[in-house]
Amino acid sequence: AAGGLLALGIGRGERVCIYLDSSPEYLITYFALWRIGAVAVPTNRVYRENEVLYAVRDAGAAAVITDVEGAALVGRIRDRAPTLRHVVAVGGDAAGAIPWVDLLRAEPCRRAAHCRFDDLCQIQYTSGTTGKPKGAMLTHGNWIAAMDAERDVLRITPDDIYLGIYPMGHVGISWGVATLRAGGTYVVMERFDLDRYLDLAHEHRATIVAGMPPVIHSLLQTPPGTEAALATARAMISGGGPLTPGVWKPFHERFKIPVVNAYGLSETVVVGTGTAIRPEHYATADEFRSVGTPVGFSEVKIVDANDPDRELEAGEDGEIALRGPGVALGYWQMPEETAATFLPEGWFLTGDVGHLDADGMLYITDRKKDMIVMSGWKVYPTEVEDVLVQHPAVRDAAVFGCTDEHRGEVPVAVVVPAGEGVAAEDILAFAREHLAGYKVPRRIIFTAEIPRVNGWKLLRKRLREEYCTASGA
């Protein structure tokens, strides 16, 4: 595949967009691009036309690797993407596209390009941000750090079999790459489905399974006997959002699988620079709340959200800052945003709020930008969500702030009920029992589904856009 890209004239440093479902071809494209010194621009196959156009134009992509259906979409934007020279289609013939198999017929690339640690290898667009997506500039060194750190966190060996569910357009693919680097086996799910997930875990005797809060919560709803499908698993990864004690603890007690609660971001290749709680922490820490301690060569500190030069003491909530070899170079073609987030001494401001305890364990309170300020009171949505999901009639919940002329903002909750006949007042009464009055949502809105990226990463911005104006809250 690398030889085929060279034959197309894809040169060192050129950007190539990957627009595929999670698949062997997606993974091979990453490796082929890195091998020739080109730059991968991963995207999600669920992206629509304008989202693909943004990635292609912003990155100045020379080519797009996609499937037949995706090639038709790319064909519609081609005249608006002046840098785009080639479209490659996996799985068949498509008008104006080069068949993927043609790449494989080229003369092999027998020797990799000479790439240094700080050479760019990927532009990873962040999701869920306000305004335009930001392209985190990831390097070969960032990826080496991530593979090393994740192998260490999970103690991966060639005997391990990892069941991965994170989309390959997301940095969560790093867990699979780290498994391959250690000589283990990577079992890929194209899209998450709980029954298929359990079948694959059982069929392949998975030793490490990817998870996330909604997945772990779903496993708790399964009938007795489901534990047998995961009997060979010695660890489960969780990330992408807060894992509440009310989900984590009963999962651990029932399935007897240690949860490695990891914390990292696109800009740090997950725990390339980040933290994780491992089974050895369970005996001495509150294992059902923390995201652990720094991994590998990572450093963490808490700073004043309004003055990042001021470091806070243990127990004080502030913005989480990370430093280490997994931290990206900055944001692609965004010098102002880079300067505001990537500080001169190597610290990266995550935008997350949290604190360190006396033992250096990190606890995340919330996203800084998602914090609701009502009449001067600060409301952290995840704290409210943690309470709401404990109500037996609530299957899922999301809290967000709506503008209010008198109070500035007020908290509003969208709830997926666990059954019929659930009353909003019952949920509010439950919230009042467990939360200070100012934290209680001013409205409960029932819905069949809460919008998440690939079923897991909460889209609060979309909730605000959909419900705040309509609710008048």
Task: Let me know if residue 328 belongs to a domain.
Answer: no
* Cα(446)–Cα(146) distance, integer angstroms: 40
Residue 410 lies in a domain: yes
Residue 57 within a domain? yes
Query: Which long-range contacts does 418-423 make (Cβ < 8 Å, 24+ apart)?
Result: 418/392, 418/393, 418/394, 419/393, 422/393, 422/394, 422/446
67 lies in the same domain as 163: no
What is the per-residue pLDDT for 473? 44
**Whether residue 255 is found in the same domain as residue 160:** yes
Domain-terminating residue out of 318, 346, 367: 367
Residue 40 sits in a domain whose CATH number is 3.40.50.980
pLDDT, residue 452, reads 81
Q: Is the pLDDT of residue 130 over 70?
A: no
For position 44, what pLDDT does the model report?
87
CATH assignment of the domain containing 401: 3.30.300.30
Residues 153 and 265 in one domain: yes
* Residue 129 confidence (pLDDT): 40
325 lies in a domain? no
Q: Are residues 196 and 339 in the same domain?
A: yes
Average pLDDT of the residues in 164-181: 95
Tell me: do 212 and 345 sit in the same domain.
yes
Same domain, 378 and 291: no
Look up residue 260 and give its two tokens.
């490695």
pLDDT score of 127 more than 80: no
Segment 382-394 mean pLDDT:
89
79 and 96: one domain?
Answer: yes
Instruction: Give the separation between CA 76 and CA 136, rounded to whole angstroms.
Output: 27
Q: Domain range spanning residue 196?
A: 140-302+333-367
Q: What pLDDT, on a 0 to 100 scale, did the predictor assign at position 278? A: 85
User: What is the pLDDT averaged over residues 247-264?
Assistant: 92
Answer yes or no: is 311 within a domain: no
CATH number of residue 263's parent domain: 3.40.50.12780
Do the domain assignments include residue 316? no
Confidence of residue 426 (pLDDT cuts 50, 70, 90): very high
- Of 312, 347, 367, which closes a domain? 367
Q: What is the pLDDT of residue 471?
A: 43
- Identify whether residues 375 and 357 lie together within a single domain: no
Question: Final residue of a domain: which of 322, 344, 367?
Answer: 367
pLDDT (tens digit per residue) in 196-208: 999 999 999 999 9
Residue 405 confidence class, pLDDT cut points 50, 70, 90: low
Backbone phi and psi for residue 105, each to the nearest 5 degrees, phi listed first: -90, -5
Domain identity same for 198 and 263:
yes
Tokens 């952290």 sit at which residue?
380
**Mean pLDDT score, 293-304:** 96
Task: Give the pLDDT confidence of 34-91 residue by residue, as tens digits.
Answer: 999 999 999 988 888 888 999 999 999 999 999 999 999 999 999 999 999 999 999 9
Q: Which range, of 85-99, 143-157, 352-366, averages the lowest pLDDT?
A: 352-366
In a domain, 308, yes or no: no
DSSP 368-396: GGG-EEETTEEE-HHHHHHHHTTSTTEEE
Please state, for a pLDDT cut of 90, what percent of the chain lies above it.
Answer: 74
Among 153-162, 336-345, 396-405, 461-470, the range scoring the smallest mean pLDDT is: 461-470
Q: Is the pLDDT higher at 472 or at 192? A: 192
Per-residue pLDDT at 285: 64
Three-state secondary-structure class, residue 46: coil
Q: 416 and 276, same structural domain?
A: no
Please tell me the distance from the alpha carbon of residue 299 to that of residue 317, in angstroms, as a whole number: 17
Q: Is residue 155 part of a domain?
A: yes
Distances (CA, A) of 240 to 48, 138, 147, 235, 308: 23, 19, 18, 17, 24
pLDDT of residue 319: 95
Residue 284: is its pLDDT beyond 90? no
Q: Are residues 145 and 281 in the same domain?
A: yes
pLDDT recorded at residue 131: 55
Q: Which residues lie across from 178 on neighbouring strands?
A: none
Sort residue 454 into left (φ over 0), alpha (ψ -120 to 50) or beta.
left
Q: Are residues 96 and 110 in the same domain?
A: yes
> Is residue 164 over pLDDT 60?
yes
pLDDT digits (tens, 9 = 90+) for 141-150: 999 999 999 9
| DSSP secondary structure code for residue 464 in this structure | I
Count of domains in the chain? 3
pTM for this prediction: 0.83
pLDDT of residue 383: 79
High-pLDDT (> 70) share of the chain, %: 95
Mean pLDDT (the chain, rounded): 91
